Structure 1
Amino acid sequence: MLKNYIKIAWRNLKKDKTFAFLNIVGLSVAFGVAILLSMAAFFELSYDKFHTNGDNIYKVYNEIQTPRGPEAGTSQPAPFANALTKEVPGISKVTRYLQDGALVMYKDKEINMSTVWVDADFFTMFSFPEFAGNSDNPLKELSNIVLSKKMATALFGDENAIDKTINILINGKETPFTVASLVENTKSNSSLEFGLAIRFENHQSYTKNKEEWDSQYHDVYVQLQNEVNAKQFEDQTKSFVDLHYKESIENLKRDGAQPDANGRYFTINLLPLKDVHYTNFQNGYAKISRTIPYLVLSVAFLILFIACVNFINMSIAKSTQRLREIGMRKTLGAQKKQLFFQFWSESLMLFSVSLFIGIGLSILFLKDFQEIFRTNVTFSMFTNPLNIILFIVVIVLVTLLVGGYPAMLMSKLSTIQSLKGKVETNGKNVVRNVLMVVQFSIAILLISGTLVLWSQLEFMRNKNLGFDKSQVIAFPIDGKMDSRRAVNLLRDQLKDNPNIISVTASDNILGLGKDGSQFSSRLGFEYKGRVVKTNMLVVDYDYIETLGLELIQGRSFDRQYPGDALGMVINESMARELDEEDPLTATIMMSDSTKYQVLGIVKDYHFESLTKSIEPLTFFMNTDWDLYYAYVKVAPENLSKSYDAIEQTWKTLEPNAKFLGSFLNDNIDRTFRSEKIMATMITSGSIIAIVLSCIGLFAISLLVVAQRTKEIGVRKVVGASISSITYLLTKDFLKLVAIAFVIAAPVAWWLMNQWLQDYVYRIDLSIWIFALAGLLTVLIALFTVGVKTLKAAMQNPVKSLKTE
């Protein structure tokens, strides 16, 4: 029986090659795209799930109620972790975690490595597969380090790295360390990435800050005991907070802060490890968002759904051509279940062929997919038995539901109706029309989303950020040389180059540089009986001039005034924070009893992401503080030549340091990476969805025209024009587009408006965006249907009337 089903199914598919071809193309593309997108989505949702103790590991963060509203952050002081372990019960293990580059030297090699400064418990808490060496506790000794396999190869080549001694530059001194262990390269779905791990106590800032509760500069992870949950632990930290942050809480009350719903001004909270990758601290709270992976899954589902709708619609429309076959089979004794399995076997054959082609397409385009969406996903990540079983179950359900529905409809037809060759189609048309409305709605939704996403992206890219980003090259200051001396030498060697306008430096970079670094520094101090907080930036001379910042009051740092080392320049937001009639009269007393005088005020500019409002910012010129990034402003002519000159000069100063220069406009563009990926993804999804919709629409138009061929001939004989016949055949489709627009436009507006709320600076949603999406959908539908209907309308009526 099964063999007979397959044989008849094959014959029917061969009989109507157009129907089979259109379905196979649509389903194959949908399966291929859905497989790739689903893999990417599940990969993004898998971050940090490979750690054995992951369910009990949390990142510590604080929520503080300030006079300006709530603030949240993860930075902790150096004594915090040890005190928390001793004073609050429930902790099994704890580690401090600080990401900071380190210059590693071995023989004649110098490599600036991505480094994490952690405590001894780090490798017993987190499950990083070991490659070689000490497996128990590799960081038990202060002089031990752990390298990734990649960094070990870069440093030692084919040599055995275990027990080798290397030097690391700390506080300007080369300090020896021993390689205790090697671990496999950090997994691409890990939020904890490093090439080198070293004990926290070795960090250059540790000695001066190990007892300071006011200096917060690293993260803390805790592993709770099995019987303790996060809520219990958070409740037990109240007395700890009241003890160690008593003065801070009193200052918050004094300055007018309002307590939270529980009457607390300062709380310690735990963020599960599985949520760390998806968390942003915005508007004073920890905001967990998995929007991008779920959006990828949604697009995959919508594309597959459109292909399935095409199949159902074409199957229902085509069923009228098989009525007599159904009637004859029933007359000869065929039962409903036999007819069902016959028609379902045809669907199953189509789906099977399409699935294999789709898998082949996903394999073929995997590399391109990885580049476009910047993902490291591979098929090997999803070849475990559970994923394979899940995949098979999904495919069986899809084929059963999508292929089974048309099969069930055809098997339920009565013998008399079938033999007449005609059947009431109102119910079928309703189903077909509803599905097509949903299909058009999805297309309108995706087109609207694409237009809004690209509009917001272009708005951010072209927005005036308040500084010159087009002619400034920035790069990290790596190497053995003191950073300020390196900048001065760079300035001296480039001063005779006519294409170099100015050279400066700071301890931070604007945007996202090639080294992947992006961080901020904050400072708090007492001013006239209240606490004032500001972002801080350590700069060199000419920083304000090099970036083209607008000085609206006072002056910049000047070499003619040696006292400027204890001066500071502030932005407008900081001036408002000081609340002085003349901010230039303000004198700030820091915690080390050093007085700083306000020298000037610059116009507010966007030194952070456009998702944030411009906050207070203070520039310092204190020469005791290090610089980490150089900035060189170049003339607009010969940009590439200027870049090469800077690179060559830097190599003469630091021959072993890697030059990672980039223009600031490129750095700013990198900060929009997630938006670009989202826009590219939805654009690609929209194009594929539209193409699939066109395939289905074209197939339906073929069947509709074929069913009304004789009607078209009669109308032409009685004088109907080509335009009227074309309108007659297309108006039903246009009605469906209109209904889809009424449904989809409000949904698209709501979704896009919700997404835009994440941006302080955003476009205004215009009705014309959604009107354009609707118009594009109408034009696409007209073009797809019009090709066949126009041809039918122009056909000789004599030929049409002969057709039965």
Structure 2
Amino acid sequence: MLKNYFKIAWRNLLRNKLRTAIHVLGLSLGISIVFLIFNVVWHSYSFDRFHPDRDRIFRINTLTEWDMGESYPTPGTNGPLGEVIDKEISFIETKGRIYTLYETLTIVPEGQKVMGRSNWVTFADPGFMEIFPRKWLAGNPKTALENPQTAVITQSNLERYFPGVQPIDALGKELMWIDGDTIQAQITGVVEDFTENTDFIFRDFISFATIQTEEQKEWYGLHLWGNVNSSSQLFVKLPEGVDPKELEASLAVIASKNFGEDEEAKTTFSAEPFSEIHFGETYSENAVSKVFLNGLILIGLIILVLATLNFVNLETAMAIGRSKEVGIRKTLGGRPLELIYQFLVETYLLVISAGLIGLALAELIRNLFASYLPSGFELEYLQGSNLAFYGLFPLILTVFSGIYPALILSSYQPARAIKGERAGAVGFSWGGFLRKNLTILQFSSSIAFIILVLVLQAQLKYVSSQPLGFEKEAVLYTRLPFMSDPNQMQRLQQLVKQQSGVSDASLSGSLVSSNSLWTSDAWIPVDTTERQIFTQVMNTDSAFVSVNGIPLLTGKKASNLKDEILVNENFLKEAGYSDAASALNQSIRFGGEERKIVGVVGNFHSRSFREEIRPLLITFNPDYFQMLSVRLSPGQNLAEAKLNLESAYREIYPYETEEFHFLDEEIGRFYEEDLKIRNVLSAASLLAVLISAMGLFGLSSYTIAQRTKEISIRKVLGASVIQILGLISKEYVALILISFLLAIYPAYYFLNDWLQGFTYRLDMPFGLFFLAGFGVLALCLAIVSIHSWMAAQTNPAKVLKDE
């Protein structure tokens, strides 16, 4: 019997090639998107699931809220909290501390091998290894990180540092890390690398006890409660049965005890469940935003629902075409349940065919959007979760998409069905009502997607066209080694300035515009008192203003003196100066010392257009320069100039691998996530429109075919082709109008929330809403008009000859 079901289903699919093609293509698009998103979600939730007792592990986060409304959440903590948390909170089972190092140069003294810079180095205490245990190949897990100047490395780094050396023989060997200062340690342990998906990318673990003197603690910012550094992270493991809310309450007590109420900022601690760490700030490039992930899930479901609605819509519309088949089979003894099985088998074959095509499309989409997916993500077709997907998903989709059409078809009465009549009353038709509403849902989704894309594109175009307040073209930059010798930095600057085609070069702590932000307080004398100003601070040399094309409104450029500063226009307003000239040579207090304002620069966007321009103070401190910016003369070969600059860089820093980058590309990254959202939505809107258009194509071809006699009679009675087109099209115009009205609110809701994230933004462009609606209407009318025109051109004599 089952064999017959499949045989009949296969013949029906081959007989109705247009219907089959529409179903397979629509469902394959939906399945490919769902399959890809299923794998992305599965991959994202697979990180660090292998750690024992992971539900009892928490990372302590810090939130600093300033009086002026700004807040700074960070996964880091201050140093003192890590020292006292297990003493202040008695029920903590284990605490683990790390201090991550950035771009650390590793040297193997044995053979004087320079291994390059990496982000795999961290300070760690024994508690960290206890909370996140590894397999030890050599060394004692309890004591390996207890003493200063000791280190544990992973097997992969053992093979890099000491090729061919066994783990037990590596114990006692020395390693050096250069991070502003030189750290030297002996290897006391070797552990296996994690092979599972993990955010813990570290391969060198230096004992936390190495940071032992007050000078070292101050260097790493671990000496004060007020110093919060994202590099300093604290993990705790709770005993079984302890409510995390108890930990939160105890952290609140510690915060209130160590931060006075008269502080300028309020600091609080919170316990982040370990399962949430992958979706926040991590140590690798594998992190993924949960908002972005949920957005992908929503888009995938919408695309699948549209494809499923296509199936239901077209099958219910075509049901009358199979009514005689149903009537004959019922007359010959076919039972409704057998008919339902038959139609579900037919649906299952469609779903399987679409699924095979969908898997190929999923790989194509993955390659097209590889940069949008998590780092290291691959489609592993034979993993257990995907095998389960292959087995269960087609069955679920078959039931959801095929059950209603199957029930409709199996419910026809034999006498009526053989005559080609529908079951039910002549008046109101549930089938017609359902088809119209499903069409409305499809096109409202399509219109909403198109509106989102158009408005996102308009806002991004707006911010890219606004003046930045500086000149970003023909400027290149490079990062300098952390805490590099100021003399070396100045040698590189002079060497670069000697290059042909270089107009000028500047050293600074950050770029003229970047995600970097340094804020502090400045004190302005007012009569016999001082007024405090919360200001942004940039650390630069005297060439910074000219290299970046920042307009100097009055005064002079700073002269590389620590007691001279520049300020911007917003600083003048905040400080209460009447004009730029009145601020010149005025003294203010900054960093505990008196500074003199020697110049005023115009306002410029040092951050993205999401933020307003802050009051800005430009100071000079060469010990903390990290960037070299270079302006090229007009008409230079940019590629050749870049190579020459990098050659000069290698002369001064032969062991570094840093390259020069273009400033305008860095600024473009401000809106990288927004561009990704726009492009993902563009792809989603294209798929939504394509699926909806295919469904409308199939539906209109069939429904218009049912009205050929009506059209022929109208032609005989004198109706023109234009009148017939208008008659058929007006129903679809009404459907698109309703779809447009339903699409407006959800599109407006999401766009309004997104636009609120920009300080500088467009007013809501409602004209684009109507443009999207008009575009979909035009597409819809074009599709319907093709079928209507073909029907209207048919000779009435051929259609009415049997009447």
Q: How does the TM-score come out when normalised to structure 2?
A: 0.87
The separation in 2 between residues aligned to 1:202 and 1:460, in whole angstroms, is: 48
Using a 3 Å threshold, how does the CA distance of structure 1 residues 289 and 112 change in structure 2: closer, same or farther?
closer
Q: What residue in structure 2 maps to residue 536 of structure 1?
A: 537
Q: What residue in structure 1 maps to residue 105 of structure 2?
A: 103
The separation in 1 between residues aligned to 2:667 and 2:401, in whole angstroms, is: 46
Local SS of the residue matching 1:671: helix
Using a 3 Å threshold, how does the CA distance of structure 1 residues 143 and 709 change in structure 2: closer, same or farther?
same
CA drift of 1:187 comes to 6.9
Using a 3 Å threshold, how does the CA distance of structure 1 residues 702 and 777 change in structure 2: closer, same or farther?
same
Q: Report if the CA contact (8 A) 1:150-1:185 is conserved.
A: no
Q: What residue in structure 2 maps to residue 260 of structure 1?
A: none
The separation in 2 between residues aligned to 1:128 and 1:451, in whole angstroms, is: 50
Which of 500, 503, 509 does residue 502 from structure 2 map onto? Answer: 500
Q: How does 1:173-572 map to 2 (within 5 A)?
A: 173=182, 175=184, 178=187, 180-181=189-190, 184=193, 190=199, 193-194=201-202, 196-200=204-208, 202=210, 206-208=217-219, 209-218=221-230, 219-226=232-239, 227-246=241-260, 249-252=261-264, 265-278=266-279, 290-371=290-371, 373=373, 375-380=375-380, 383-384=383-384, 388-389=387-388, 392-423=391-422, 424=426, 426-478=429-481, 482-509=484-511, 519-524=516-521, 532-559=533-560, 564-572=561-569
Q: Report if the CA contact (8 A) 1:168-1:177 is conserved.
A: no
Q: Report if the CA contact (8 A) 1:712-1:800 is conserved.
A: no
CA drift of 1:797 comes to 3.4
Q: Report if the CA contact (8 A) 1:477-1:483 is conserved.
A: no
Local SS of the residue matching 1:473: strand
CA deviations on 1:141-179 (whole Å, 9 max, x unpaired) are 433445567766665667668545332224354745538
The separation in 1 between residues aligned to 2:547 and 2:381, in whole angstroms, is: 47
CA deviations on 1:400-436 (whole Å, 9 max, x unpaired) are 1211110001111222221221115821111011000
Q: Report if the CA contact (8 A) 1:315-1:406 is conserved.
A: yes
CA drift of 1:65 comes to 5.1
Q: What residue in structure 2 maps to residue 79 of structure 1?
A: 80
Using a 3 Å threshold, how does the CA distance of structure 1 residues 310 and 615 change in structure 2: closer, same or farther?
same
Q: What residue in structure 2 maps to residue 284 of structure 1?
A: none
Q: How does 1:18-97 map to 2 (within 5 A)?
A: 18-44=18-44, 49-64=49-64, 66-69=66-69, 71-74=71-74, 76-91=77-92, 92-97=94-99
CA drift of 1:586 comes to 5.5
Using a 3 Å threshold, how does the CA distance of structure 1 residues 366 and 70 change in structure 2: closer, same or farther?
closer
Using a 3 Å threshold, how does the CA distance of structure 1 residues 440 and 269 change in structure 2: closer, same or farther?
same
Q: Report if the CA contact (8 A) 2:63-2:71 is conserved.
A: yes
CA deviations on 1:425-452 (whole Å, 9 max, x unpaired) are 8211110110000000010011111112
Which of 629, 632, 637 does residue 631 from structure 1 map onto? Answer: 629
For the aligned residue pairs, the C-alpha RMSD in angstroms reads: 3.4
Give the stretch that moved more between structures: 632-641 or 686-695.
Answer: 632-641
Q: Report if the CA contact (8 A) 1:131-1:149 is conserved.
A: no
Local SS of the residue matching 2:148: coil
Q: How does 1:677-716 map to 2 (within 5 A)?
A: 677-716=676-715
Q: What residue in structure 2 maps to residue 142 of structure 1?
A: 148
Using a 3 Å threshold, how does the CA distance of structure 1 residues 682 and 599 change in structure 2: closer, same or farther?
same
Give the stretch that moved more between structures: 204-213 or 778-787.
Answer: 204-213
CA drift of 1:653 comes to 2.0
Using a 3 Å threshold, how does the CA distance of structure 1 residues 369 and 266 change in structure 2: closer, same or farther?
closer
Q: How does the TM-score come out when normalised to structure 1?
A: 0.87
The separation in 1 between residues aligned to 2:195 and 2:588, in whole angstroms, is: 44
Using a 3 Å threshold, how does the CA distance of structure 1 residues 418 and 375 change in structure 2: closer, same or farther?
farther
The separation in 2 between residues aligned to 1:758 and 1:381, in whole angstroms, is: 39
**Letter matched to residue 273 of structure 1:** F
Using a 3 Å threshold, how does the CA distance of structure 1 residues 634 and 230 change in structure 2: closer, same or farther?
farther
The separation in 2 between residues aligned to 1:545 and 1:128, in whole angstroms, is: 54
**Letter matched to residue 697 of structure 1:** L
The separation in 1 between residues aligned to 2:735 and 2:442, in whole angstroms, is: 10
Sequence identity percentage: 24
1:735 equivalent in alignment to 2:742:
no
Q: What residue in structure 1 maps to residue 285 of structure 2?
A: none
Using a 3 Å threshold, how does the CA distance of structure 1 residues 185 and 456 change in structure 2: closer, same or farther?
farther
Provide structure 1 residue ranges, at least 5 long, that are not aligned to the other structure.
258-264, 281-287, 513-517
Give the stretch that moved more between structures: 346-355 or 365-374.
Answer: 365-374
Using a 3 Å threshold, how does the CA distance of structure 1 residues 535 and 414 change in structure 2: closer, same or farther?
same
The separation in 2 between residues aligned to 1:62 and 1:372, in whole angstroms, is: 29
Q: What residue in structure 1 maps to residue 652 of structure 2?
A: 653
Using a 3 Å threshold, how does the CA distance of structure 1 residues 450 and 52 change in structure 2: closer, same or farther?
farther
Local SS of the residue matching 2:724: helix
Using a 3 Å threshold, how does the CA distance of structure 1 residues 471 and 590 change in structure 2: closer, same or farther?
same
Local SS of the residue matching 2:95: strand
The separation in 1 between residues aligned to 2:713 and 2:801, in whole angstroms, is: 11
Q: What residue in structure 1 maps to residue 284 of structure 2?
A: none
Local SS of the residue matching 1:250: coil
**Letter matched to residue 180 of structure 2:** N
Local SS of the residue matching 1:672: helix
Q: What residue in structure 1 maps to residue 776 of structure 2?
A: 777
Using a 3 Å threshold, how does the CA distance of structure 1 residues 97 and 343 change in structure 2: closer, same or farther?
same
- How many pairs were matched up? 771
The separation in 2 between residues aligned to 1:587 and 1:186, in whole angstroms, is: 59
CA drift of 1:752 comes to 1.2
**Letter matched to residue 235 of structure 2:** V
CA drift of 1:35 comes to 1.1
CA drift of 1:607 comes to 2.3
Q: What residue in structure 1 maps to residue 119 of structure 2?
A: 114
The separation in 2 between residues aligned to 1:120 and 1:723, in whole angstroms, is: 82
The separation in 2 between residues aligned to 1:377 and 1:102, in whole angstroms, is: 27
CA drift of 1:125 comes to 5.9
The separation in 1 between residues aligned to 2:131 and 2:377, in whole angstroms, is: 22
CA deviations on 1:267-324 (whole Å, 9 max, x unpaired) are 33333333345459xxxxxxx9732111111111111111111111111111111111
Q: Report if the CA contact (8 A) 2:522-2:589 is conserved.
A: yes
Q: Report if the CA contact (8 A) 2:147-2:210 is conserved.
A: no
Q: What residue in structure 2 maps to residue 607 of structure 1?
A: 606
Which of 124, 148, 158 does residue 129 from structure 2 map onto? Answer: 124
Q: Report if the CA contact (8 A) 1:491-1:503 is conserved.
A: yes
Give the stretch that moved more between structures: 200-209 or 728-737.
Answer: 200-209
CA drift of 1:678 comes to 1.2
CA deviations on 1:646-687 (whole Å, 9 max, x unpaired) are 112112222221132211111122232221221111111111
The separation in 1 between residues aligned to 2:105 and 2:432, in whole angstroms, is: 71
Local SS of the residue matching 2:435: helix
Give the stretch that moved more between structures: 490-499 or 389-398.
Answer: 389-398
CA deviations on 1:449-487 (whole Å, 9 max, x unpaired) are 1112222222333333323222211111138x9442233
